Amino acid sequence: MISRRDFARRAATGLVGAAWLAGTGSPLLRADEQPAATSNKLGKMNLSFKPYLLTLRHAFGVASVTRTTTMGVQVEIELDGVVGYGEASMPPYLSESTESVLAFLNRVDLSQFKSPFEMEDILGYVDGICENNAAAKASIDLALHDLVGKLIGQPWWRIWGLDKEKTPTTMYTIGIDEPDVVKEKTKEAASFELLKVKLGRDKKSDREMIESVRAVSDRPIAVDANQGWKDKIYALEMIEWLHEQGIVLVEQPMKKTKIDDIAWITERSPLPVMADESLQRLTDIPKLKGVFSGINIKLMKCTGLREAWKMLNLARALDMKVMVGCMTETSCAISAAAQLSPAVDWADLDGNLLISNDCFDGVKTAPNGKLILSDLPGLGIVKRDKPVNRLDTL
């Protein structure tokens, strides 16, 4: 049962933010939980950033490409000694690069805003600087959410009114590879309750991938074709075969331009069909109702948590399934996405488990894949002095 003091602390979330703005601190938090600065006037927000190359533990293959690294940029917003952390992760298909993200961030001027609590105005300004650049915008969004959560003294799952005990188990992703390598990757993930397998190259490769996983595991599987299937008849036949193999859902069976074909597949599919590449921003969702069973929200595509929260709620209003996914990311962005996870049907938040140089501590992953959110404020993250291979910590 929750204690009276904990109840008071949780109920006071809004008051804490107001107290910060007034420069008084909050009597409802312990001294060691008080916001770091309590002067009568806020200083200015200072933005800094630097490139950070993510190194994959294994070569990662999808329908169109195989890679061993992912470009990234780490971002900090500092205010009166409190630092909010964010990141941009740019796999090749996002059409963003380290150079484009750095160029975008150099155009951001936060000095025009009096308070980080002006989140709608700040993030609306960032989104309006230019079109596209979603990952660059997400890096600012995440850092601002982390900063504001720290100033308030609460994690975002609590600010949104969610129950951290309702987090799902994350999928663990097996990229396209040779059968022996696929079997070894699957054995590494033996404790995870739900696997995700990349498909979409051709019939032989697709069946070989599933058969390789099934040779060593009977766990439920989600599959992601990454737009790889060219024909709707073949796609439906493959889905029907996958259903017999214990698959539970299919992501993006065909190219995002094949709307009518995907709607035809979804109408006949024995499995939920989820939108990935077809979905970028909030305004895409109404067009996908009736085409897909649900959506996969990724922070690097939708510009961050501000829009992701709106997307989740709109999808629910349209009676669509919701999944939260990720790119190859550190525990910074994974922990940000995990703040949403108590409200979704499925989570694919293993990006930090696929790299060997995670520079943050954040959301924990239980051996079975269950996401474990902390009570730390903001995104619930702490920057590490030394990067770590996250899978070794499970």
Q: Which residues contact 267 (CB under 8 A, 6 or more apart)?
A: none
pLDDT in tens, 61-119: 665 567 788 999 999 999 999 999 999 999 777 789 999 999 999 999 999 999 999 99
Which pLDDT value is given to residue 392?
A: 64
Which pLDDT value is given to residue 22?
A: 39
Give the start-to-end residue ranges of the domains of the chain: 1-41, 44-153, 158-393
Other CB atoms within a 10 A radius of the CB of residue 263 amount to: 16
| Helix (H), strand (E), coil (C) string for the chain | CCCHHHHHHHHCHHHHHHHHHHCCCCCCCCHHHCCCCCCCCCCCCEEEEEECCEEEEEEEECCCCEEEEEEEEEEEEEECCEEEEEEEEECHHHCCCHHHHHHHHCCCCHHHCCCCCCHHHHHHHHHHCCCCCHHHHHHHHHHHHHHHHHHHCCEHHHHCCCCHHHCCEECEEECCCCHHHHHHHHHHCCCCCCEEEECCCCHHHHHHHHHHHHCCCCCCEEEECCCCCCCHHHHHHHHHHHHHCCEEEEECCCCCCCHHHHHHHHHHCCCCEEECCCCCCHHHHHHHECCECEEEEEHHHHCCHHHHHHHHHHHHHCCCEEEEECCCCCHHHHHHHHCCHHHCCEECCCHHHHECCEEEECCEECCCCEEECCCCCECCCEEEEEEECHHHHC
Tokens encoding 348 = 């694919």
Thinking of the domain 44-153, which architecture would CATH place it in?
Answer: 2-Layer Sandwich (3.30)
- Residues 275 and 249 sit within 8 Å (Cβ to Cβ): no
Which pLDDT value is given to residue 103?
A: 98
- Residues 218 and 195 sit within 8 Å (Cβ to Cβ): no
- Residues 336 and 84 sit within 8 Å (Cβ to Cβ): no
Which pLDDT value is given to residue 29?
A: 36
The whole-number mean pLDDT for each consecutive block of 10 residues of the chain, a chain of 394 residues, reads: 42 42 36 44 91 87 70 97 97 86 98 96 98 97 98 98 98 93 94 95 93 97 95 96 97 96 98 97 97 98 98 98 96 98 97 93 96 98 89 63
Which pLDDT value is given to residue 31?
A: 37
Which pLDDT value is given to residue 393?
A: 62
Query: To the nearest 10°, the Cα dihedral for 124, 127, 62, 297?
Result: 10
pLDDT in tens, 143-182: 999 999 999 999 999 999 999 999 999 999 998 899 999 9
Which superfamily does CATH assign the domain made up of 158-393 to?
Enolase-like C-terminal domain (3.20.20.120)
- Residues 25 and 35 sit within 8 Å (Cβ to Cβ): yes
